[in-house]
Chains A and B, each alone.
Chain A
Amino acid sequence: MTPPEQNNTVEITVDGVAVSARSGELLIAACERNGTYIPRFCYHPRMSSVGMCRMCLVEVDTGRGFALQPSCMLTVSDQMKVSTNSETAKKAQDGVLEFLLINHPLDCPVCDKGGECPLQDQTMAYGPGETRFVEEKRHFQKPIPISETVFLDRERCILCDRCTRFADEVAGDALIHFMGRGNHTEVNTFTDEPFASYFSGNTVQICPVGALTAAPYRFKARPWDLSETLSTAWVDSVGSRVALQASRNRLLRVLGADADAVNWGWLSDKERFGFEALNSAQRLSSPKLRQAAADAEHHWEDVSWGEALERISADLAAAAAERVAVLGGARLTNEAQYMWVKLAKGVIGTDNVDAQLGDGLDPAVVLGLPRATINDACKPGSVVVLLGPDPKEELGVLYLRLRHAVVNDEVTLIEITPTSTGLSHLAQHCLRPAPGRTAQLVETLLAEVCSGTAEDHPAANSTSEDGAEDGAELREAAKCLGQAVSTGAGVTVILGRASLAEASGGVEAAAYALADLETVRFLPALRRGNVLGALESGLAPGLLPGGARLTEASEDLSDLWPQLPAEPGLDAAGVLAAAADGAIDVLLLVGADPLNDFVDRDLAYRGLKGAGQVIAIDLFVNDSTELAASIVLPAAGPSECDGTFTNIEGRVSLMNCKVTPPGTARPDWMIAAELAERIKPGSASLLDSPEAVRAELVAVSDVHKSITEQALVENHLEGVLLASTERAGMLSAPGAGTNAGTSVGPAAEIPDGAYALIAARTMYDDGVMLRHCESSRNLAAAPRVWINPADMEAEGLRDGAAVRLVSDCGHIEATLASEAGVSAGSLKVNWLAPGAPANSLIAADSHVTAVRIQPR
């Protein structure tokens, strides 16, 4: 949307003053940049102009006299003469404003928008002071819900086309439309087709009147009572910049901030409305101790922080270092993550630390591959390879950016995913590897890129019966990829786990192979909050802050840390397996819910039960804590403490404190610092603020050198990219990608009559945070099984049938849906559906998961 940097400027005259404008720029934007604000309602810099509201009319010299022209539709041209304040222009603007108001209810005193309403503001500046309209106003039924969270008041609507344009152009969910015509035009949804968009909240933010309101904020506050701070969204790893707004020490609203490099002002609804969980009455507000009761029941008893920390530090001190493990931490700020790494590795001395719960990628892959920014991926004319999850479901704003790039900026999308995604209809080429065959497919693709000849590789044909056709698609994709490499157009691979039901090795091996192509860069699509920050801080086995290996500790680090683990430790699967075998005495869950989040539910259960002692630091009591924790410490959530966030690009931005945490909840960094100080006095005595922790992180990690306080302040909107993230040496790290070259094909692993399972996340699931979001919790996707229509027919089942999926590990019950985007022989289920956790079907050590389908 932003015009590319151009040196050629043009001279225009605005109200008699000569100013310079960028050629190709819209007149309204050029005037605004030069200090002349032209009133507008329908114009939005991030969407195409429609010239509907007519508020931005100005007089422009056409060569045959001055004429009224909408300045949002006109691109500047050299020597253009514009009058924004002539009698004619002002009368036209006044006239339009009067027209807009005649049917507007003027219910500002009871309208949520009152006080921050563009219509209200511009009524003060333009138009007659009193109405000349004595007729009856247009009437509609007062707010109607158009989705679970969004309400529409058509009486207030001025039909500016912003919401409908957003839904159609930006989100691609054209579910709200203009209906009727003339004076009876209204915005509405079609019957039985609610505005069920993951991005509906943006329409509320861009509505220039109070026509669209969202449930979480309705009637909660007046804008003048809100105080605001810039922060970063935490529910996924895109790191959208947000404005946190609070009143009376309560977070009330989250708005998208327009960071050009990241989210362009857009947010997914989960980022926007997810804050509701923080206000939940179920939040932990004091340390709790499990008290067993007679009948195997238990209850939680409040204890003081002193007592809780004393118990924990005593337990930690008593346990052998290698019998302590820390899981989780992706929710935390960079500072808290560093503090927990220091506590675990530097103070306790254990390397059994993992922020990913078997649902991520090998840290060596994430940190070692050359990294792309979102802007790199969206660079006009470049090629994007989607080798990962559906961005629409997992990384909403990334989906919006990619969609814009493909639709408007001639970015070519090649999809290598086991099922169709929200971007499939925009993809130039779709390759569908069967579960477990991603690496082979990519190898074939690359062989094709290199040789440029058609080879009849068996893997290329494995995806469907019609091998020839798939081969052709693969050849086309290879041609496209080859061209991009040879012309230097730029190739970005969006890398992540499209399916949690197969091991990560396949996609990692594919990434290694792709990395051989020149100019290719990678954008990790790991979903979990600040997961990049966690990996960069060292919350992974074998790693130190900045991605250094245990043996590569810098001098600064050796000075500041009392000790270092001797041997690389266990990852999440290893920790849980060890715990199940009774080899873990203390298991710390830092914002982790292995039962729901770990890929193997059975192993998680056994691990939690088998651990000597489970200690949780969290916002809520979750299923895992309820099952096994002996002590739960309340943590301060995002918006309740200061810190920084690292997004998938390695972009570090501030997360600011806006409200105080509930009860005695404390920031995670502080909890770790206190434990460290208790175990090894002096190890954290100087770390008394997030800034101090950050300073130590910057001191011990080369990668974090760019994150100075000054840089953070200067780039407070866009954030600061980590220093060089080129760590090619990591790629040869032992263990990296060892489970990659799976020689056993799925054909061997999937028995006759069974299907290969694909487990993919949906935007809304049964996660603990969403459960506590009052207005979005009903959105959690019900358990579904998507099946190829041919397979469904062969099974003799029909759409909507209730079925049971059975694997070697367990079973779930779900509703069947036919979906052509699922290859024959595969089944897709949604991750963490209420009542049907897909991880109960999966074994942590299997490459692919075979399931059978049974009618219920």
Chain B
Amino acid sequence: MSTPHESDGYLAHAPGYVANDGPKLITSRFEHSDSFTLQRYLATGGYNGLQAALRATPQEVHQQVREATLLGRGGAGFPAGVKWGFLPPGKHPYYLVVNGDESEPGTYKDRLLMERDPHQLIEGCLIACYALGLQQCFLYVRGEMALAQERITAALNEAYEAGYVGREIRGSDFSVDIVMSQGAGAYIVGEETALIESLEGRRGMPRLKPPYFPAAVGLYGQPTIVNNVETLSNLPWLLTNGAEAYRSYGSETSPGTRMFAVSGHLQRPGVYEVQHGVTTFRELIYGNNYCQGIRQGRELKMFIPGGGSSPWFFGEHLDLPLEAKPVGAAGSMLGSGAIVVMDDTTDAVKAAWRVVKFFARESCGKCTPCREGTTWLEQILRRILDGEGRPADIDLLLDIGDNISPGPYPAAAHGELEAVPFPPRQTTICPLGPSAVAPVVSTIRRFRHEYEAKITRRDPIPVMAVPAGAAL
């Protein structure tokens, strides 16, 4: 593949972002090469949302967010306004933790938001803190995102200096401290309780549930709201323009816009902000405004609709809208907004192996089924790819999957099953282990013949060369 060109819409100063004609509630500043500076931010309506919030009471701000039905953008799609309401009264201090540990394979929208528009995120944090009466916010940025860390640090310094963060913000009696924290490079820390553990300085391992929500017992044992970067980045626009304006975008149940990171075998992969719940996969993948179809006119083989942990989709799912409910009903999930498209040149087994390998590497090692099972799956797939597969391996893969994530696996054919059912079908604490099962089951179900072809093919076993003089 050739490198993206500016003429195709790629912005050199915003790698991964493609200029398009879609709505721009949160990506409006990406076109500016200095979008991360306070100067540009203020010149483009920055901190207006905060001013609007400060003019209202915290309850009114909370009510606006509730009315806008702002859905969490981290993966579960839980309404932020409802989540905020979970804080138990009177158990001060409360904390706001920003989940900037975006690491789902295929997802890179939060990185762009943090790199290109850090002030928008900071303003979102301030609005959330104001609405909930918090004074302390922790901004946890994934360890590998050096540029995001730099930009946020610089933006925080600017904001403190200009009096947007800190004591008595802009002459009001509202004070908030925002602290940036760096991750140490673990996928699992994207799970909110593991993130809190990491923030407290411990091994990033998910906490045991119950308590189910950090809103009850979170950071340092205090009630804590954990919100995703994109969720909070919506707040400045929402407060500036109001809930009604916000609801004019997207569908009734999923208002506003949503960012999708589309990658893979596409003409124009990139991050796009689209109307939530209205746009379909087909529009996003084939639409002229977005990805412009499969590369070199090839055929679509399969795509991952919601990040590495979601079950895979195929051609028949293209007309589903980008909305959690219908995607869930079809047997997968929209997750964190990462769509990975694979064309007909893709080896299904190898693709599954690559995703499983990721989860095996990222397992925290706490629960037995995930620690041992994901690596075992990876080893078997590797062996099949190496021509050492056995006929029993396919059923073994499925059975190992069943021991990590027991019960019938959701699929389009079993539409009544929820993609993220309750009670969860997992023998593990968190969903990481089951995530590794998704690609295996998806590909075996659809492309069993590819597995069988690899297994019946017997590659000659290479003769091990013994170096001369090696001690045996």
Report B-chain residues with C-beta under 8 Å of the C-beta of A178.
203, 365
A51 CA / B427 CA spacing, docked (Å): 11
The reply on B424 being an interface residue by CB < 8 A is yes
Report A-chain residues with C-beta under 8 Å of the C-beta of B422.
62, 64
Task: Give the residues from 397 to 426 in chain B that come closer than 8 angstroms, CB to CB, to chain A.
Answer: 400, 402-404, 406-407, 422-426
A159 CA / B365 CA spacing, docked (Å): 8
Interface mask (A158-178 → B, CB under 8 Å = 1, otherwise 0): 110000000000000000001
Report A-chain residues with C-beta under 8 Å of the C-beta of B392.
132
A102 CA / B371 CA spacing, docked (Å): 11
One of A54, A102, A135 near B367 (C-beta < 8 A): A54
Docked-complex contact A181 and B364, CB < 8 angstroms: yes
Report B-chain residues with C-beta under 8 Å of the C-beta of A180.
365
Report B-chain residues with C-beta under 8 Å of the C-beta of A55.
368
Docked-complex contact A96 and B208, CB < 8 angstroms: no
The reply on A50 being an interface residue by CB < 8 A is yes
Min distance, Cβ B432 to any Cβ of chain A, angstroms: 10
Number of A-B contacts (CB under 8 A): 104
Report B-chain residues with C-beta under 8 Å of the C-beta of A305.
none
Task: Give the residues from 284 to 321 in chain B that come closer than 8 angstroms, CB to CB, to chain A.
Answer: none
Report B-chain residues with C-beta under 8 Å of the C-beta of A605.
none
Which candidate, A87-95, A383-391, A468-476, A618-626, is the interface stretch facing chain B? A87-95
Min distance, Cβ A623 to any Cβ of chain B, angstroms: 49
One of A57, A64, A95, A182 near B363 (C-beta < 8 A): A182
Docked-complex contact B372 and A92, CB < 8 angstroms: no
Report B-chain residues with C-beta under 8 Å of the C-beta of A50.
208
Known: A73-B208, A88-B407, A183-B375. A135 touches B368 (CB 8 A): no
Report B-chain residues with C-beta under 8 Å of the C-beta of A111.
none
Report A-chain residues with C-beta under 8 Å of the C-beta of B373.
99
Smallest CB-CB separation from A66: which chain B residue?
Answer: B423
The reply on A98 being an interface residue by CB < 8 A is yes
Docked-complex contact B365 and A183, CB < 8 angstroms: yes
Task: Give the residues from 76 to 100 in chain A that come closer than 8 angstroms, CB to CB, to chain B.
Answer: 88, 91-92, 94-96, 98-100
Interface mask (A110-138 → B, CB under 8 Å = 1, otherwise 0): 00000000000000000000001111000
Min distance, Cβ B407 to any Cβ of chain A, angstroms: 7
Task: Give the residues from 344 to 377 in chain B that come closer than 8 angstroms, CB to CB, to chain A.
Answer: 360-369, 371-376
Smallest CB-CB separation from B382: which chain A residue?
Answer: A135
Known: A51-B208, A88-B407, A91-B403. A132 touches B396 (CB 8 A): yes
Report B-chain residues with C-beta under 8 Å of the C-beta of A185.
364-365, 371
One of B362, B376, B402 near A91 (C-beta < 8 A): B402
Min distance, Cβ A63 to any Cβ of chain B, angstroms: 9
A67 CA / B423 CA spacing, docked (Å): 6
Smallest CB-CB separation from B208: which chain A residue?
Answer: A51
Docked-complex contact B186 and A57, CB < 8 angstroms: no
A593 CA / B406 CA spacing, docked (Å): 66
Smallest CB-CB separation from B395: which chain A residue?
Answer: A132
A88 CA / B407 CA spacing, docked (Å): 8
Min distance, Cβ A770 to any Cβ of chain B, angstroms: 37
The reply on A736 being an interface residue by CB < 8 A is no
Smallest CB-CB separation from A41: which chain B residue?
Answer: B368
Docked-complex contact A92 and B360, CB < 8 angstroms: no
Report B-chain residues with C-beta under 8 Å of the C-beta of A68.
406, 423, 425-427
Task: Give the residues from 26 to 56 in chain A that come closer than 8 angstroms, CB to CB, to chain B.
Answer: 49-55
Docked-complex contact B396 and A92, CB < 8 angstroms: no
Min distance, Cβ B105 to any Cβ of chain A, angstroms: 15
Known: A91-B402, A159-B371. A182 touches B364 (CB 8 A): yes
The reply on B379 being an interface residue by CB < 8 A is yes
Task: Tally B residues with Cβ within 8 Å of A.
Answer: 39
Report A-chain residues with C-beta under 8 Å of the C-beta of B366.
52
Docked-complex contact B361 and A182, CB < 8 angstroms: yes
Report B-chain residues with C-beta under 8 Å of the C-beta of A73.
208
The reply on A65 being an interface residue by CB < 8 A is yes
Min distance, Cβ A773 to any Cβ of chain B, angstroms: 36
Report B-chain residues with C-beta under 8 Å of the C-beta of A815.
none
Min distance, Cβ B142 to any Cβ of chain A, angstroms: 16
Min distance, Cβ A56 to any Cβ of chain B, angstroms: 11
The reply on A103 being an interface residue by CB < 8 A is yes
Smallest CB-CB separation from A99: which chain B residue?
Answer: B372
The reply on B180 being an interface residue by CB < 8 A is no
Report A-chain residues with C-beta under 8 Å of the C-beta of B428.
54
Report B-chain residues with C-beta under 8 Å of the C-beta of A57.
427
Known: A100-B368, A183-B360. A65 touches B383 (CB 8 A): no
One of B360, B376, B424 near A67 (C-beta < 8 A): B424
Known: A68-B406, A88-B407, A103-B372. A135 touches B365 (CB 8 A): no
Min distance, Cβ B395 to any Cβ of chain A, angstroms: 10
Docked-complex contact B365 and A182, CB < 8 angstroms: yes
Min distance, Cβ B399 to any Cβ of chain A, angstroms: 8
The reply on B429 being an interface residue by CB < 8 A is yes
Of B383, B392, B404, which is in contact with the most chain A CB atoms at under 10 Å from its CB?
B404
Min distance, Cβ A132 to any Cβ of chain B, angstroms: 6
Docked-complex contact B368 and A51, CB < 8 angstroms: no
One of B369, B371, B402 near A183 (C-beta < 8 A): B371
Smallest CB-CB separation from A135: which chain B residue?
Answer: B379
Report B-chain residues with C-beta under 8 Å of the C-beta of A91.
402-403, 406
Known: A91-B402, A95-B403, A182-B363. A54 touches B372 (CB 8 A): no
Docked-complex contact B363 and A183, CB < 8 angstroms: yes
One of B362, B368, B379, B403 near A52 (C-beta < 8 A): B368
Docked-complex contact B403 and A96, CB < 8 angstroms: yes
Smallest CB-CB separation from A96: which chain B residue?
Answer: B368
Smallest CB-CB separation from B392: which chain A residue?
Answer: A132
Report A-chain residues with C-beta under 8 Å of the C-beta of B362.
181-182
Task: Give the residues from 415 to 450 in chain B that come closer than 8 angstroms, CB to CB, to chain A.
Answer: 422-429
A182 CA / B406 CA spacing, docked (Å): 21
A183 CA / B360 CA spacing, docked (Å): 7
A65 CA / B203 CA spacing, docked (Å): 33
A181 CA / B204 CA spacing, docked (Å): 10
Smallest CB-CB separation from A132: which chain B residue?
Answer: B396
Min distance, Cβ A41 to any Cβ of chain B, angstroms: 8
A132 CA / B380 CA spacing, docked (Å): 11
Report B-chain residues with C-beta under 8 Å of the C-beta of A53.
368
Interface mask (A815-855 → B, CB under 8 Å = 1, otherwise 0): 00000000000000000000000000000000000000000
A183 CA / B378 CA spacing, docked (Å): 11
Docked-complex contact A99 and B406, CB < 8 angstroms: no
Task: Give the residues from 121 to 169 in chain B that come closer than 8 angstroms, CB to CB, to chain A.
Answer: none
Report B-chain residues with C-beta under 8 Å of the C-beta of A103.
372
Docked-complex contact B427 and A54, CB < 8 angstroms: yes
Of B368, B369, B400, which is in contact with the most chain A CB atoms at under 10 Å from its CB?
B368
Smallest CB-CB separation from A100: which chain B residue?
Answer: B368
Report B-chain residues with C-beta under 8 Å of the C-beta of A181.
186, 362-365
Docked-complex contact B365 and A65, CB < 8 angstroms: no
Smallest CB-CB separation from A186: which chain B residue?
Answer: B365
Known: A135-B376, A183-B375. A64 touches B365 (CB 8 A): no
A57 CA / B427 CA spacing, docked (Å): 8
Min distance, Cβ B421 to any Cβ of chain A, angstroms: 9
A158 CA / B365 CA spacing, docked (Å): 11
Q: Give chain A's interface residues, CB within 8 Å of chain B.
A: 49-55, 57, 62, 64-68, 73, 88, 91-92, 94-96, 98-100, 102-103, 132-135, 158-159, 178, 180-185
The 9 nearest A-B residue pairs measured at CB: A95-B403, A67-B423, A185-B365, A99-B372, A182-B363, A183-B375, A135-B379, A62-B423, A181-B365
Query: Could you write out 27 A-B pairs with CB less than 8 Å apart?
Result: A51-B208, A51-B367, A51-B429, A52-B368, A54-B427, A57-B427, A62-B423, A64-B422, A64-B423, A67-B423, A67-B424, A68-B425, A73-B208, A92-B406, A94-B403, A95-B369, A96-B368, A96-B427, A99-B369, A135-B383, A182-B371, A182-B374, A182-B375, A183-B372, A183-B374, A185-B364, A185-B371
User: What would 18 more interface pairs be, CB under 8 Å, given A49-B208, A99-B371, A182-B363?
Assistant: A52-B367, A54-B428, A88-B406, A94-B403, A95-B400, A95-B403, A99-B373, A100-B368, A100-B372, A102-B372, A102-B376, A135-B380, A135-B383, A158-B368, A181-B363, A181-B365, A183-B365, A183-B371
